[in-house]
Each structure stands twice: as structure tokens, then as C-alpha cells.
Structure 1
Amino acid sequence: MSLLSSYHSARLHVTRRTLIAAALAAGAVFMGPVPVQAAGKTTLILGMTIEPAGLDPTVGAPVAIGQVTWQNIFEGLTTIDAQGKVQPQLAESWTISPDGLTYTFKLRQGVTFHDGSSFDSSVAKFTIERARAADSVNPQKRYFSSVDAIEAPDASTLVVKLKSPTGNFLYWLGWPSSVMVSPKTAENNKITPVGTGPFKFVSWSKGSQVQLERNPNYWNREAAARLEKVTFRFINDPQAQAAALKSGDVDAFPEFAAPELMDSFKGDPNLVTVIGNTELKVVAGMNNARKPFNDKRVRQALMMAVDRKTLIEGAWSGYGTPIGSHYTPNDRGYIDLTGTYPYDPEKAKALLAEAGYGSGLSFSIKVPQMAYAQRSAQMLQAMFAEVGVTLTIETTEFPAKWVADVFKAGNYDMTIVAHAEPMDIDIYSRDPYYFNYRNPAFNEVLKQVDATTDEASQARLYGEAQQILAQDVPALYLFVMPKLGVWNRKLKGLWENEPIPSNVLRGVEWTD
């Protein structure tokens, strides 16, 4: 599971009246070198809040890995474009058998890795076999579980046979965890990544920055990088991020960490602010196997105790989109279900009483140290108090402690975290998973999604899945975090929206 990077958080004095004020205060094969660009600025310093723990997205889950390497260093058979659509990449085309079980890919010829080794069907076969192996540590290993056999009949043909239809197979092949890796360098990619992308790895100064340079032998002439050098600089303090942007020490922060500071950039002649969308769904997960959360009425009552609009104002300075299920407006088949259990404290209290908790209820919430999580938990604490529920906040270090206690051990009552994976509504069908939610009807709907590649059918089925979650409330669905971008006005080509966590730089350039 990939989750939102952590930010510095401000402690807020939590009362109903002061919550908001406190929160606000706190293609073609290329057979030669890419021509050098005309004179002009060709370097970029891009800021990120979190430094990745490694540089191989096929062995590590944190989104920061892909935000540095995906589509910059590494590429896949398919890719996801800025609109969230599947596009060909190292596979130039494919056919799917009528029964949906056999995918035959035509691979691009003349593609080489940064070390000069060739990409062909044997490499693609190695990559997928590695991802699905028994000892695989691929963060999305489950998405390769439907693969039955892989064949490489010739250098430019890859045949993947599935055990059962998998409607989103091409989409998953476009994820960071599915990028192609060379057998010669795969073991060292975590430190010295070697891919086929438009940029080559240069160096990593841990605690400070990662440097890339243009790949002069990139296979796709039309999509060759316009920048010669890129530096990813890691700055985790929001005030320091703002200072670096204003001074010009950093050219761009595509994901600025402090919404309460966005207004400070207004009127700056050198900077532009861009509010885009993401897949970051902030949800308060509940342990459905533990009392009182094994009673659906309690979960529904807690949902009605939450004023999403007020929570967004207090937790993220009003930036965010309320949601009523584990789905975002970016995704196909989205339905606005915030009206399923709208804010209604009186109905919440009545439902709690019906469930046997009329005299009160107490439980704890394990909260990562990130600002959005801390602030959201404090807002929930105040709102729950209004319906007779006492919420105790326990700050939990993320990722290590949270992953150990909540994600793996399931030792928690309630927690809060932002789920960053696109289209990850299927997590509620996984067993085990930290929600401990089990619903055969929901699982059946997702099986039907996998059985078809027709987008209209998938959209309808995803709508059914959303409605089941909105009714059952295995987690409190709060809001989708926005993509708060701040960058130099002369910089063009950065993605405004984020259908997948990334910093795609091949089309980025400076203009006059």
C-alpha cells in the first residue's frame, strides 16, 4: 500500500470553536542521439517533502520512489497518461483473446537500457516472473497473481496467459511497480537505478538530493527530455519549502506541504500556484472485527457525526473534496455518495442509542504524525464529543510503527491515513487487510469487474461497489486531498493533476 508522504504538523488546541482557526494558523524507434536543445535554461530543481527510502519502485511501496523514478528513469509495457488513461509504451500494441485470458504484446525494437543492454521479450518475461515469484517483494505482487504463464516466442513478442480474466491488467502494467528492469542491474536498482527512460541516474546524496541527466540515447525521439539536468531536493519543513521557492533555490514544489501557506504566494511575480486533483483519499479506518465497530449502526452513526466541510476547513485549510466512499471524482464510474450518511448529530446519537451506546462510547485512534492526519483526528475528536463519543488520540510514528501495529497486526480501534493508490477500492475485498471488513456481495462485484475489459461495464460495477461501501461504512470517508503545486511561472509541462503519484518530467521545459 502506498500512502501519502508525511508533513510537519502543528499541535492544535482542540475545541469546537477554535479548531478551524488553529488549523489555519499552524512511438517511433530512434536510431541516434537526441539533438542538443537551443540555448536557454535546461536545468530544474524540484522539491519534494519526503526522501524515498530507495529508488526501485518494483521492491518498495512508498510513493516517493515512483515520484522520482517513474517515467523519468523507468518505463513499463504500458503507461498512465495525465488523464489517467492507459497508453502504449515499451509495448507498442497488444491483442487480447476473446476469453480474456491471453495477452499478446508487440514490443518496441531498438530500445536500450541506460547501460546499453537491450530491452526485448526476455527482459519483459524476467520482469513479470520476478514480480510474481514466491519470494517477490513487489508492493503490488497481488496484481500479478492471475498470471499463469509467460512466453517469449521471439525478441519482439511477449505472450502473457492468465488464470482468470483480469479487466484492469493493462492498467496495472502501467504502474510504477510494473516497470521493466534489466536482469543485469535489477538487484542494484534500489541504489543505482538503470532503466529505459528519458533520464539517467547520476547520484544520490542521502538526506539531500537525487540528480538525473538527460538520456542521449532515448528510444522515443518525439518524447525526448527537454531538460538536461534535474535535481530532486528533499525539504520536509513547509516554511523552508516556501522560503526556497520564494528565493528561487527551488524551481518547483509540485506537492506543496502546507495549505495554510498557499496564500503567501499570491502576488509573487515569479511563482504560480496550481490546484489539481489526486488519488489521495483520507479515510478513518475502523477495525470492523472489534467492538463496537463490528456493529454497522455504530459505524453509520460515526459517519453522521462528521461534518466533512468543516473538517476540510480545519484540517487542510478548505482545500479538498468530500467523498462518501473509497473513490475519487477522477475515477471511472464515480458517484457522489456524501449524501448517504450526511452530517446529522441528532440522528447519530439516536443510532448510537439503538446500538446500545446511549450512555456514551470511548475508543482510541492511532494517528500518523503527518499534519493532515493530526488535524483531521483533532477535528473528529471534537465532532464525536458532540454525540457522546470520547476519542483518545495516540500519535503513531509513520511508516514503521503504523505499519507494524495497524497495517500488519491490526492492533487498533480507529486510525486515519491517506490512501494514494489509484482505483484501490479492491482493498476492501482483501483478506487479510487492516479494516477486517468482509462482505461476499462486495467481493462478487469486484470479481465481475475483473471478468470484463469493457469500460462502461466496469464503470457501472464500480458504482455498485461504491454504494456498498457507502452503506456499510467500514471506514469513515472524509475527503480527497488536492495537489497543491507551486512553481516558477516560466516552467511549463508539469502535470497539474495526479492520476498516479508521480513527477513526470519528459515534457517539462522553460519558456521565455
Structure 2
Amino acid sequence: MALAGLAALGLGSTAEAQQPRTLRIAMTASDVPTTTGMPNNGFEGMRFLGYPIFEALTLWDLSDPSKPAGLRPGLAESWEQDSTNPRVWRFTLRQGVTFHDGTPFTADSVIWNLDRYFRNDSPQFEAGGSGITRARVTILESYRKIDDRTIEMTTVRPASYFPYMVVFILFTSPQSFEAAGRDWARVATNGAAGTGPFRITRFVPRQSVELSRNDNYWDTARRARLDRIVLLPIPEANTRLAALRSGQVDWIEVPPPDAIQPLRAAGFQITTGSYPHVWPWFFQMGGNNTPFRDVRVRQALNYCIDRDGLVQLLAGTAEPSVGWLKPNDPNFGNPQNRYRFDPARGRALLAEAGFNAQRPLSFRVMISPSGSGQMLPLPMNEYLQQNLREACGVNVEFEVTDWSNLLTATRTSADGAAVRNVQSLNPSSPSSDPSVMARYFLNASRPPNGFNWPNWQDEAFEAAFARLEAARTPAEANAAYAEAHARLVDNPPWLYIVHDLNPRAMSRRVRGFTSVQSWFQDLVPVDIQ
């Protein structure tokens, strides 16, 4: 959205700027994430229109920035895996929680929401929210209410990491649906009621959404300091920068790298930090028109790219990626391949696979101009295009599409109409826990059941992951996790490029923000002066 559009909303006026405790955030999203309780626009949607308003039975623990975020109790006080049947999990619900509309959070409202996502024939079925949730929660077989305090969920197979999937099932008040005439489009217009520390109070389609503090939030120690948050989709990086410099917003996601030092010099706050995120290209191995069935081609490209040069282009706001996990992660494993910029090795592998100067490797990548975790995709991809051509004689073309379309493509079969002319996709990915690994790489997670768009299959990976799922101790789980990850490196389904360092720029008026090792950030302690 242009600066003129911000002014039209009144967000550039002196009166707006002087309103106390109102934080204005410029997102990278091209549109306002959906407001029905299961936001689109990827994890940026979850970061701003998900967890601050709507909660799950389990929640991310964002209290310790020194380590990757784990889980903490949310709308469930506790959970346990059945000792005799490891496919069964029981969740004890928190009592005394109310939705923003005053209705109680109950076991019945949990079942209502699960039916909304997982039962196509339910009156409250929501196709958009269901597609997102099912892609993240890929192994739920059944669920039932045991009593007013207990919900039971059964998975299709044992999964030691299942609570990390439950964190993506958000809960909306059934009354939101009834009050809107049982019409999810009307729910979106008004904004659904959740249980979180903020509530939706104003929505302007394609322009902004306003959140207000929930003064009745169930966790009295975690009531928000801000009165309001205004969220604005501004996909173009320089427009976000101009909005920050002019005082029309207080916080921007992903500032342009060349603006970071000038912003610091001008007194703006810059935050960065390591977190579980990887920015890759996906290789398609299942389509009718792809060069990536040959592992030598996939390995070659991982040796052909100059990751350090790309990090330099990004002014140090990323770090090289040589696997799904970072090399210093204890679960990285011991792969045979340690990728680095080695064009000679890359060209040799390509030649073994039949590609040379007379028959160059050529393919097409679907990319987006912006989006959640996408960093600065246009200059980054242009850099890679030139890098691959000069280092290894590889010809790359791009198909540029909207971020939401790119996300849809990741859940599309190899020869679906949306991806028929591309052999690679460029969506960023979380790498936070084994549940994410499951939905991106297991053979069972091929679209539409998950995000294994490459149609990758590796028997050693499947065996290691089965041991991880059945593990009953952290030592067993970690050993299997490391073995599985080593297969992701040696038989790569992706081109591993960089890990994002999550840069943000803020006005000096913003106080209380701490960047944690998660896609999701805690807005409760944030204040503005």
C-alpha cells in the first residue's frame, strides 16, 4: 500500500501519532491476513492475526530468548500421551476462560472448532481455515470429548511431537459464527472472537486491522500494556522504510539491508536474532518435466551457490544454510556432504548427470515479491540467478506470483495447473521441531496432505523418522532426529540457501520488545512512549 493510502487511513496524522499506547506495525504481507481465527499469509499471519487474538491448547513459550522456543500450557492446563496406546493424547482444559464475546471456552467449543477444520460436512466447516490447519496437523485421525474438562485426540500413528502440531489449531467462539448468520465471510468482516490478550476491533479490507487490549484476559499476569495495535500490509520494502522514517508507522518487518546502518544512525532500533527458519528452493521430483530426479543435480546446485555473497548482499541479516537445520544444531547429524561454494564440484556433478555447456541445466522457479519470512525475494533471487549462471552455467527463469498463490502451490500436486510450468518453488519454511519436518518431508505428506511438494522419498529418512515418532525419551528422539536430518542433506529435496536473522526496525518510542528464537513474537510486554 502506498503512503497516500496510509494517510487516507489517518495513520500519518499528528493526532493519530499522539494517541497513547497505539503501536502501528507494517507487515510484509500483500493483504491483511484473514480475521476468522485461522489467518492466511503464512506464519506472518499467525504472528500478528493468530496468537495475539486466538489461542491453542498448547502455546509457544516465548519467555527465554536464549534458546529456541518450546511449548507451554495454553487453553489446556496439561496433556499426556496414553501409556498403553501412544496414538492417544488427552488434554485437560483450562477452566474459567472466556472468549472476547463473553461466551465460555468449553470442551464443546473445542469439538465445534475441530469439526470446523476436520469435518467437511459440519455446518461450521470453513474451507480456507480447514486447508491451512490440515496442512499443519497432518496425522489427526479422530477426537472426542471425554468430559467437560477433557478432550482426547487420536493420531494415525504414534508421534512423540504431536503437541507441536496442536499448537497450530486455533480456537474461535462459536457465537462469532452464529452472530454473523453462519457466514464466514461476515465473520471475517467483523473479526472473530478469540481468547487471546488482544481482540479484533476494526477491519478495513486490504488496508488495515485494529487490535485492542483484552482487559479480561484469563492470564492476569500477561495482560497487554498497549491499548491498540494497528496492522498494515505494506509488501514493498522501501515503502515500509518511508512509512517508518516519516512517522506513519512505529515498527516495520524486514527493513531494506542497505537502510539498516542509516536507520541506526538516525536513532531507530534494529533487532535481529537467530531463529528456526530456512529460505530455500524446493526441487520437484515427481512432475513430468523436471531435471531433479537425479540426486547429483540437486547436490550440484547446493555446491554451486555462493551463500556468503548473498549474506553480504543482505548486510549480514542472514547466515548460510547447508541443511534444514543450522550446522550448530545438535540434531544436524553427520552427513557426508558439507555444502560450500565449490563451483568445480558442482559442474562435475552436473556433467555426470548429463548437463554441460552444450546442454545446460535449465529450470523455472516460482517466487513471490514479498511475504511472511520471504525476506527480500526479488533481489535475492536475481542474485542466485546470476550466481548459478556464472558459477555453473545453469539457466534459471522465474515465475513471479503473490505470496498466497505461492503457498497454495506448495499444497498442489506436481502436475497441477498452478505449477505445471515450474520445477521449483521458493517459500520460506520454519525448522522449529520434528512436526514441521514431518509435514515437509515424509512421503505421507505429499500434497494435499502436507508440504512435501517435491514428492521426495528416502527409505533411510522414513526409518529414522519412524524411530523418532516412537521415541519415549529425549535421547532416543534426538538420535533419530539427527539421523533423519543427515538424509535431508545427503539426498537434498531442497536447495539450502540462507537462514534469516529476522530483522526489524522500530521507532525509539517502542519499548519492551525482545526478539526470541521463534517465528512468533510476544506482543504482551511491548509498550510505546
Contact 2:337 2:489 in 1 (8 A): no
In the alignment, which of 409, 413, 429 is matched to residue 419 of structure 1?
429
Contact 1:365 1:392 in 2 (8 A): yes
427-436 or 86-95: bigger deviation: 427-436
Give the secondary structure class of the aligned counterpart of 1:190.
Answer: helix
Residue 436 of structure 1 pairs with residue 455 of structure 2: yes
Deviation (angstroms), 1:134: 4.2
Identify the residue that residue 12 of structure 2 maps to in structure 1: none
In the alignment, which of 459, 463, 466 is matched to residue 447 of structure 1?
466
Give the secondary structure class of the aligned counterpart of 1:417.
Answer: coil
Cα distance in 1 for partners of 2:224, 2:336 equals 42
- Give 1:379-394 correspondences, 5 Å limit: 379-394=383-398
Contact 1:58 1:138 in 2 (8 A): no
Deviation (angstroms), 1:363: 1.0
AA partner of residue 395 (structure 1): E
Identify the residue that residue 305 of structure 2 maps to in structure 1: 306
Deviation (angstroms), 1:304: 1.3
Cα distance in 2 for partners of 1:313, 1:428 equals 30
Does the C-alpha gap of structure 1 residues 381 and 337 become closer, same or farther in structure 2, counting only changes over 3 Å? Answer: farther
Identify the residue that residue 320 of structure 1 maps to in structure 2: 318
User: How far does the alpha carbon of each residue in 1:195-229 deviate from its partner, in whole angstroms, 9 at most, with x for none?
Assistant: 01111211112232211111122111111111112
Contact 2:33 2:39 in 1 (8 A): no
Cα distance in 2 for partners of 1:505, 1:336 equals 38
164-173 or 147-156: bigger deviation: 147-156
Identify the residue that residue 259 of structure 1 maps to in structure 2: 257
Taking structure 2 as the reference length, the TM-score comes to: 0.80
In the alignment, which of 106, 113, 129 is matched to residue 92 of structure 2?
106
Cα distance in 2 for partners of 1:173, 1:375 equals 36
Identity %: 24
Give the secondary structure class of the aligned counterpart of 2:69.
Answer: coil
Identify the residue that residue 377 of structure 1 maps to in structure 2: 381
Contact 2:337 2:490 in 1 (8 A): no
Contact 2:39 2:49 in 1 (8 A): no
Deviation (angstroms), 1:334: 3.8
Question: What are the ranges of 5 or more consecutive residues in structure 2 without an aligned counterpart?
Answer: 3-18, 63-67, 122-126, 178-183, 371-375
203-212 or 432-441: bigger deviation: 432-441
Deviation (angstroms), 1:190: 3.2
Residue 44 of structure 1 pairs with residue 23 of structure 2: yes
Contact 1:77 1:91 in 2 (8 A): yes
Identify the residue that residue 73 of structure 1 maps to in structure 2: 53
Identify the residue that residue 132 of structure 1 maps to in structure 2: 118
Identify the residue that residue 485 of structure 2 maps to in structure 1: 466
Taking structure 1 as the reference length, the TM-score comes to: 0.83
Cα distance in 2 for partners of 1:332, 1:46 equals 35
User: How far does the alpha carbon of each residue in 1:299-348 deviate from its partner, in whole angstroms, 9 at most, with x for none?
Assistant: 2122211121112223x233211111223479772459796232211222
More helix by share: 2
Question: What are the ranges of 5 or more consecutive residues in structure 1 without an aligned counterpart?
Answer: 1-5, 8-39
Does the C-alpha gap of structure 1 residues 189 and 93 become closer, same or farther in structure 2, counting only changes over 3 Å? Answer: farther
Cα RMSD (Å): 2.9
Give the secondary structure class of the aligned counterpart of 1:230.
Answer: strand
Cα distance in 2 for partners of 1:441, 1:156 equals 41
Identify the residue that residue 173 of structure 2 maps to in structure 1: 182
User: How far does the alpha carbon of each residue in 1:102-129 deviate from its partner, in whole angstroms, 9 at most, with x for none?
Assistant: 3222222111111111101111222223
Identify the residue that residue 505 of structure 2 maps to in structure 1: 486
Residue 273 of structure 1 pairs with residue 270 of structure 2: yes
Cα distance in 2 for partners of 1:421, 1:281 equals 7
Task: Report the count of equivalent residues.
Answer: 468
Contact 2:173 2:192 in 1 (8 A): no
Does the C-alpha gap of structure 1 residues 425 and 146 become closer, same or farther in structure 2, counting only changes over 3 Å? Answer: closer
Identify the residue that residue 522 of structure 2 maps to in structure 1: 504
AA partner of residue 431 (structure 1): R
Give the secondary structure class of the aligned counterpart of 1:46.
Answer: strand
Contact 2:61 2:70 in 1 (8 A): yes
Cα distance in 2 for partners of 1:242, 1:381 equals 26
Cα distance in 1 for partners of 2:408, 2:243 equals 35
Does the C-alpha gap of structure 1 residues 153 and 313 become closer, same or farther in structure 2, counting only changes over 3 Å? Answer: same
Cα distance in 2 for partners of 1:208, 1:341 equals 43
Cα distance in 1 for partners of 2:398, 2:251 equals 34
Cα distance in 1 for partners of 2:309, 2:142 equals 51
Does the C-alpha gap of structure 1 residues 490 and 346 become closer, same or farther in structure 2, counting only changes over 3 Å? Answer: same
Cα distance in 2 for partners of 1:149, 1:450 equals 18
Identify the residue that residue 173 of structure 1 maps to in structure 2: 166
Does the C-alpha gap of structure 1 residues 404 and 147 become closer, same or farther in structure 2, counting only changes over 3 Å? Answer: closer
Cα distance in 2 for partners of 1:403, 1:246 equals 31
Deviation (angstroms), 1:388: 4.7
Cα distance in 1 for partners of 2:254, 2:407 equals 25
Contact 2:27 2:231 in 1 (8 A): yes
227-236 or 330-339: bigger deviation: 330-339
Residue 141 of structure 1 pairs with residue 122 of structure 2: no
Cα distance in 2 for partners of 1:244, 1:337 equals 45
User: How far does the alpha carbon of each residue in 1:408-438 deviate from its partner, in whole angstroms, 9 at most, with x for none?
Assistant: 2242233433224744323122224321222
User: How far does the alpha carbon of each residue in 1:356-392 deviate from its partner, in whole angstroms, 9 at most, with x for none?
Assistant: 2244413122242427333333333333334552313
Does the C-alpha gap of structure 1 residues 147 and 283 become closer, same or farther in structure 2, counting only changes over 3 Å? Answer: closer
163-172 or 73-82: bigger deviation: 163-172
